[in-house]
């Protein structure tokens, strides 16, 4: 017990000054940025997200790494121009200070899935800095409640595929990227592509085709994905049930060998259970024998609204994940994450987050530990 208390005391003293400085900086920053979305004209608007997080890792004695704290502050302004009711031009930039724990974490999955400093430089291996998205969309309206949209430009595949109401936003929901998208799928972000979405009553069908750069190879590969989503309205609330098939052609796999194709099947579900409770699950299966860290992925959790304690906009998120079956260096990963998000006003929220990570490897030391995070986010 004495050793445990001494360890906690040392960790606390190590992080106290870092926490105080970070909180002062973040509070000042988000206070300045707590403004409404700016309608420059009736057709042109400025939106975006500003977030800052301090993360501290406390590792087991057998883990390869050290107890430390790191911060990251991503900023993503967005410009939207609507020349007509059915046309949109969109631009998103990304800037960031720091990489959080991502540079020093011993875990296979990074502790925060936000676009941090290294992510906005040489974006996705394209040689492009700071420009994340730039696209044009046209909506073809049809009879009844049907419509078809066509998007062209620099896009993010996860804007169209593998969404989830409770686990799809690293700035406002779970921080671990394995809880935002299936980690055994390689969803390309910020590359040239085309996407189409067909809304038809309770059904929505999405398709994405992208020409993708790779960080580990000068070669490109072709990504395509299709998704069907069914929206279910019940007395309990709204649910979304998705099934998704991804495929990559001429993809250089994680072992560095060029392969013709890899495929993955994903199911992503979110369902309300009354006014205060929501639940989600996401499952993914690789359908090929290419080298990959995880062949099977299972995550799930609950979302609890603050309605029960008089804080309607607050929420608690709790999730578990288990990933295994790969054929590279890692045997399996277990994770758990819980957060409380306190909404100060419609734009500003603070989140206290805790993660448990446990990686088992074949030939290098296993990694196990806790990650404690404080996050502030402004959606403006």
Does the global pTM surpass 0.85? yes
- Confidence tier at 26 by pLDDT (50, 70, 90): low
As a whole number, mean pLDDT of residues 321-345 equals 94
More confident residue, 65 or 243: 243
> pLDDT by residue (tens digit) across 135-158?
999 999 998 889 999 999 999 999
As a whole number, mean pLDDT of residues 276-300 equals 91
- Confidence tier at 29 by pLDDT (50, 70, 90): low
As a whole number, mean pLDDT of residues 326-351 equals 94
Q: Which pLDDT belongs to residue 326? A: 82
pLDDT of 110 strictly over 50: yes
As a whole number, mean pLDDT of residues 329-340 equals 96
CB burial of 200-238 (b: ≥16 within 10 Å; e: otherwise) equals eeeebebebbbebbeeeeeebbbbbbbbebeeeeeeeee
> pLDDT by residue (tens digit) across 297-319?
999 999 999 999 999 999 999 99
Q: CATH number of 2-379: 2.40.50.100, 3.10.105.10, 2.40.160.10, 1.10.1060.10? A: 2.40.160.10
- Confidence tier at 4 by pLDDT (50, 70, 90): very low
Q: Which pLDDT belongs to residue 11? A: 43
More confident residue, 91 or 256: 91
> pLDDT by residue (tens digit) across 217-263?
667 888 999 999 999 999 999 999 999 998 876 666 555 555 556 78
The percentage of residues in the chain with a pLDDT greater than 90, rounded to a whole number, is: 71
- Confidence tier at 272 by pLDDT (50, 70, 90): very high
Please provide the average confidence, as pLDDT, over all residues in the chain.
88
pLDDT of 295 strictly over 60: yes
pLDDT of 93 strictly over 90: yes
pLDDT of 216 strictly over 80: no
- Confidence tier at 292 by pLDDT (50, 70, 90): confident
For the ranges 32-46, 171-185, 231-245, 288-302, the lowest mean pLDDT is seen at 32-46
More confident residue, 27 or 100: 100
As a whole number, mean pLDDT of residues 333-350 equals 96
pLDDT of 182 strictly over 70: yes
More confident residue, 216 or 273: 273
As a whole number, mean pLDDT of residues 306-333 equals 94
More confident residue, 6 or 372: 372
């Amino acid at each position: 017990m004495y050793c445990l208390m001494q360890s906690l005391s040392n960790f606390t003293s190590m992080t106290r000054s870092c926490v105080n400085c970070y909180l002062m900086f973040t509070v000042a920053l988000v206070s300045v940025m707590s403004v409404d979305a700016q309608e420059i004209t009736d057709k042109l608007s400025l939106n975006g997200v500003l977030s800052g997080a301090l993360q501290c890792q406390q590792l087991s004695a057998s883990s390869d790494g050290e107890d430390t704290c790191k911060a990251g502050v991503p900023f993503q302004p967005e410009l939207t121009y609507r020349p007509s009711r059915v046309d949109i031009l969109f631009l998103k930039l990304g800037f960031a200070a720091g990489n959080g724990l991502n540079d020093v974490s011993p875990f296979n999955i990074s502790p925060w899935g936000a676009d941090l400093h290294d992510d906005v430089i040489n974006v996705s291996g394209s040689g492009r800095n700071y420009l994340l998205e730039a696209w044009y969309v046209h909506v073809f309206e049809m009879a009844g409640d049907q419509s078809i949209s066509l998007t062209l430009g620099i896009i993010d595949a996860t804007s169209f595929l593998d969404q989830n109401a409770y686990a799809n936003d690293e700035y406002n929901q779970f921080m671990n990227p394995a809880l935002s998208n299936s980690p055994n799928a390689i969803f390309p972000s910020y590359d040239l592509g085309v996407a189409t979405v067909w809304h038809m009553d309770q059904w929505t069908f999405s398709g994405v085709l992208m020409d993708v750069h790779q960080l580990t190879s000068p070669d490109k590969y072709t990504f395509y994905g299709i998704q069907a989503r069914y929206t279910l309205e019940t007395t309990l609330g709204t649910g979304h049930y998705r099934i998704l098939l991804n495929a990559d052609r001429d993809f250089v796999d994680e072992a560095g060998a060029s392969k013709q194709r890899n495929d993955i099947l994903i199911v992503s579900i979110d369902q309300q259970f009354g006014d205060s409770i929501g639940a989600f699950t996401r499952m993914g299966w690789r359908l090929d024998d290419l080298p990959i860290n995880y062949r099977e992925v299972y995550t799930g959790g609950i979302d609890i609204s603050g309605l029960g304690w008089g804080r309607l906009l607050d929420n608690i998120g709790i999730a578990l994940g288990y990933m295994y079956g790969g054929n590279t260096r890692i045997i399996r990963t277990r994770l758990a994450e819980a957060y409380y998000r306190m909404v100060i006003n419609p734009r500003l929220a603070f989140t206290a987050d805790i993660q448990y990570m446990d990686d088992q490897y074949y030939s290098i030391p296993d990694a196990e530990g806790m990650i404690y995070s404080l996050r502030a986010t402004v959606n403006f």
